[in-house]
Amino acid sequence: MAVGIFDSGLGGLTVLDAVQKRLPDVPFVYFADSAHAPYGVRDADDIYALTTAAVSRLFEAGCDLVILACNTASAAALRRMQEGWVPRDKRVLGVFVPLIEALTERSWGDNSPPREVAVKHVALFATPATVSSRAFQRELAFRAIGVDVEAQACGGVVDAIEDGDMILAEALVRSHVDALRRKMPSPDAAVLGCTHYPLMEDVFQDALGPEVRVYSQADLVAESLADYLGRHPGMLGPGAQGGYLTTGDPRRVSDGATRFLRRQIGFEAA
Ligand code: DGL
C-alpha cells in the first residue's frame, strides 16, 4: 500500500514529513533525483524525461500513486504526463492545486467559475523553470479574478540548500525578497512555490515582515492527499515497504536529509 513521493532532491522531504505525520500508517517511498538537481534551470523536455524516469522507478517500487513534490516538475511535466504517459491504473498528482485552492479559499475539487478572493497582491517565489512556465498564474486564473501575481525566479537557492550551504541560501533568499519588493512593494500573501523553500520559511517570513501571510505547501498537500486516499482507497499501491531512493551518492544525500528532518534517514541507490 505504498505511495511515492518524488522531488529533484531534498525539497520534497518537507512534503514527505507532513504526509508521514498526517498518514502514519501509509508507507511512503521517497525518490530524490539528486544526480540531476536542480531541475529549475532545465528546459521542459529535459524535466519531462527525468521526471518520467523517476516516476517509473516509483511504480516499480509498488506505488500506484505518485505525488510530484516538486513544483518545477508539476509545472513543466505533469500535464504532459497525465495526457499521454501515465498508465490507466496509476495516478500522478502535483503540488500546485492544493496550494491554489487554499489561496483562493476553495475546498477540494471545487470547479465553480473564478471569483473575487481576499488576497489581491501575491508574491510567488519559485524556480526559474516554474516561473517561466506561468503554470501558477494559469491555475490561479481558473479559480480567482482580480489577483495580481508578481513572480520572482529564485536562482541559486536550491543549489545552496542541496549543498547544505544555509548561509548562502539565506543571503540569496533575502536578495530575492528585496528584488520582489522592488516590483511589488506590499504583497499581502507570499507563496513558496518550491518545496525546498519551506526549509528557509523563517527567513522568507522575516524578510517579508509579519504583515505578509506566507503559504507553504507541505501541510496543504498532506491534507489533500488524506482526502484523496479517503475517496480512492484503491490507489494505495501493492508495495508494502517505504524507503528512500536517490540517483545521487546515498551517503551524502542521507546526511543532508538527516540534517533537515532531524532524524536518521538512510537513502539507497535508486
Ligand atoms: N523542489 C523543487 C520544486 O519544488 C525543485 C527545485 C529544483 O530542482 O530546481 O520546484
| pLDDT of res. 109 | 72
194 catalytic? Reply is yes
> Is there a single domain that holds both residue 19 and residue 87?
yes
| pLDDT of res. 176 | 98
For a pocket test of ligand 1, which of 6, 46, 131, 195 has the largest count of ligand atoms closer than 8 A to its C-beta? 195
**What is the number of structural domains in the chain?**
2
Contacts for 213 with CB less than 8 Å, ≥ 6 apart: 119, 188, 189, 190
Please report which helix (H) or strand (E) contains residue 100, including its range: helix 96-103
| pLDDT of res. 241 | 86
What separation in Å is there between the alpha carbon of 196 and the centre of ligand 1?
6
DSSP state of 89: T
240: three-class secondary structure by DSSP: coil
- Check 16, 65, 69, 70 and give the catalytic one: 70
Q: CATH number, domain at 89?
A: 3.40.50.1860
Domain coverage including residue 186: 97-215
> Is there a single domain that holds both residue 44 and residue 73?
yes
- The C-alpha cell at 58 is 516509483
CA angle 110, 111, 112 (to 5 degrees): 100
Taking the model in full, what pTM does it have?
Answer: 0.93
Domain boundary among 195, 215, 235: 215
> Is there a single domain that holds both residue 115 and residue 195?
yes
Residue whose C-alpha is closest to residue 126's, from 115, 140, 114: 140
Please report which helix (H) or strand (E) contains residue 115, including its range: strand 115-116
What is the C-alpha to C-alpha distance for residues 35 and 21, in angstroms, rounded to an integer? 28
> Is there a single domain that holds both residue 87 and residue 109?
no
> Is there a single domain that holds both residue 102 and residue 208?
yes
> Is there a single domain that holds both residue 117 and residue 207?
yes
CB atoms within 10 A of CB 9: 27
- Amino acid 58 reads L
> Is there a single domain that holds both residue 112 and residue 189?
yes
Please report which helix (H) or strand (E) contains residue 121, including its range: strand 121-126
What is the C-alpha to C-alpha distance for residues 236 and 44, in angstroms, rounded to an integer? 29
Predicted confidence (pLDDT) per residue in 88-140, tens digit = 999 999 998 899 999 998 877 788 899 999 999 999 999 999 999 999 999 99
70 catalytic? Reply is yes
Domain boundary among 170, 198, 215: 215
Residue whose C-alpha is closest to residue 194's, from 88, 56, 69, 104: 69
Residues lining ligand 1, Cβ inside 6 A: 7-9, 11, 37-40, 70-72, 127, 130, 158, 194-196
Q: What interhelical angle do 96-103 and 218-231 show, nearest 10?
A: 110
> Is there a single domain that holds both residue 49 and residue 12?
yes
Which atom from ligand 1 is nearest to the alpha carbon of 70? 4
> Is there a single domain that holds both residue 224 and residue 240?
yes
> Is there a single domain that holds both residue 92 and residue 107?
no
> Is there a single domain that holds both residue 173 and residue 193?
yes
125: three-class secondary structure by DSSP: strand
> Is there a single domain that holds both residue 106 and residue 195?
yes
In order, the DSSP letters of 4-65 are EEEESSSTTHHHHHHHHHH-TTS-EEEEE-GGG---TTS-HHHHHHHHHHHHHHHHHTT-SE
> From residue 56, how far is each of 3, 24, 52, 83, 92 by CA, in Å?
13, 25, 6, 16, 11
- The C-alpha cell at 4 is 511515492
Residues in the chain, pLDDT under 50: none
